[in-house]
């Protein structure tokens, strides 16, 4: 089962063999034995690639869960009484992973020298179970899946901001509709495309902006905004320092953008391991009740008229 999961993950007998420290022939033999035992074909083979059959796709998730449980049980037995130890596979959005999670994970790991964190940063909404992550950090984009347990970590506030040079050259928008005449830096993972939503008390505004620059990575847009390219749709966890230092200036602060949440996701089919549970508790203590990036912005003022 472990060999099958690795072949399915890598889509390659050779790469799975390399990662498992086995010969390709032995990997192929074990897969054939598994298919014979189940009386079903799990994989399509070709000279170019390996892909899952329908039966293989259906078998992969419960098989992956069983393999993870067996591996975790083996680690618990091997390190009974020890400190936190072994691999800890985490996935997070690129911008949050680089600006906040990497530092928190390093501090969490310092007292546990046997712990082996693996942080995968990717803005794609990867399936944490299919990709074998012990813990996934999401900003919004929470899947409707009973297979995943969710624990909120912190609110994630959006902010519109631009460099002082851009605002001097193009003016400060006072109403959301004025954004149509501005250069807007757009995060492509927003679910409504280039439609930005605003709220103030009971009032709602919807604006279709002109995306002068688009990226699927918040850090890319952040640097473009610092260069004066336009007004960026960002998050306070990414822009807080430059907002505090005046290198970026918030605009339309009388209006709020949709609120997302920073959440921790892990497989619901089993209790979280001690290392996963302790890491989540550590992050909750870091980011609640007010995350440090928002606490740092409490004295930042919007531009004057």
User: Which tens digit of pLDDT belongs to each residue from 202-248?
Assistant: 899 999 998 999 998 889 999 999 999 999 999 999 999 999 999 99
Q: Is the pLDDT of residue 159 over 90?
A: yes
**Separation between Cα atoms, residue 83 and residue 75, nearest integer Å:** 12
The answer to whether the beta carbons of residues 180 and 208 sit under 8 Å apart is yes
- Report pLDDT for 305: 46
Q: Is the pLDDT of residue 254 over 90?
A: yes
- Report pLDDT for 237: 94
**Separation between Cα atoms, residue 75 and residue 232, nearest integer Å:** 46
The answer to whether the beta carbons of residues 102 and 119 sit under 8 Å apart is yes
Q: Which DSSP symbol is given to 26?
A: H
**Separation between Cα atoms, residue 61 and residue 5, nearest integer Å:** 9
Q: Please compute, for residue 79, the number of CA atoms within 13 A of its CA located in the half-sphere on the CB side.
A: 18
Tell me the per-residue pLDDT of 187-202, one tens digit each, with 9 for 90 and over.
887 766 788 999 999 8
**Separation between Cα atoms, residue 263 and residue 91, nearest integer Å:** 12
Q: What's phi and psi for 11, nearest 5 deg?
A: 55, 35
**Separation between Cα atoms, residue 29 and residue 66, nearest integer Å:** 21
Q: Rounded to an integer, what is the distance from CA 6 to the centroid of its chain?
A: 22
The answer to whether the beta carbons of residues 225 and 185 sit under 8 Å apart is yes
Kind of pairing between the strands at 231-235 and 184-187: parallel
| Angle, CA of 62, 97 and 120, to the nearest 5° | 40
**Separation between Cα atoms, residue 103 and residue 250, nearest integer Å:** 26
Mean residue pLDDT across the chain: 87
Q: Could you give the domains of the chain?
A: 2-78 (1.10.10.10), 86-153+261-290 (3.40.190.10), 158-258 (3.40.190.10)
Neighbours of 25 (CB within 10 A): 10
Neighbours of 157 (CB within 10 A): 19
Task: Report CA torsion sign: 42, 46, 50, 53.
Answer: negative
The helix or strand, by DSSP H or E, that contains position 249, with its residue range, turns out to be strand 249-250
Beta bridge partners of 196: 207
**Model pTM?**
0.68
Q: Is the pLDDT of residue 75 over 70?
A: no
Q: 3-state class of 146 per DSSP?
A: coil
Tell me the per-residue pLDDT of 103-152, one tens digit each, with 9 for 90 and over.
999 999 999 999 999 999 987 777 777 788 899 998 876 666 677 888 99
């Amino acid at each position: 089962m472990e060999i099958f999961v690795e072949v399915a993950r890598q889509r390659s007998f050779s790469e799975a063999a390399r990662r498992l420290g086995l010969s390709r022939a032995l990997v192929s033999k074990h897969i054939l034995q598994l298919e014979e035992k189940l009386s079903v074909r799990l994989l399509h083979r070709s000279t170019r690639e390996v892909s899952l059959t329908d039966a293989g796709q259906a078998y992969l998730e419960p098989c992956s869960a069983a393999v993870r449980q067996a591996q975790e049980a083996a680690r618990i037995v091997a390190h009974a009484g020890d400190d936190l130890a072994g691999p800890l596979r985490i996935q997070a959005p690129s911008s949050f992973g680089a600006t906040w999670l990497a530092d928190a994970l390093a501090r969490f790991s310092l007292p546990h020298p046997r712990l082996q964190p693996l942080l995968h940063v990717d803005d794609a909404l990867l399936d944490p179970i299919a990709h074998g992550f012990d813990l996934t950090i999401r900003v919004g984009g929470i899947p409707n899946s009973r297979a995943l347990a969710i624990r909120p970590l912190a609110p994630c506030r959006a902010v519109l901001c631009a460099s002082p040079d851009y605002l001097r050259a193009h003016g400060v928008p006072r109403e959301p509709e004025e954004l149509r005449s501005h250069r807007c830096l757009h995060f492509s993972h927003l679910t409504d495309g280039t439609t930005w939503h605003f709220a103030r008390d009971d009032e709602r505004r919807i604006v279709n902006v002109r995306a002068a620059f688009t990226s699927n990575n918040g850090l890319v847009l952040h640097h473009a905004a610092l260069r004066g390219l336009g007004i960026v749709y960002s998050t306070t966890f990414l822009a807080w320092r430059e907002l505090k230092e005046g290198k970026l200036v918030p605009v339309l602060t009388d209006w709020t953008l949709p609120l997302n949440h920073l959440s921790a996701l892990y497989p619901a089919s089993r209790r979280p391991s001690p290392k996963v549970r302790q890491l989540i508790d550590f992050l909750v203590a870091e980011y609640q009740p007010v995350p440090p990036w928002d606490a740092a912005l409490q004295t930042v003022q919007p531009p004057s008229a």
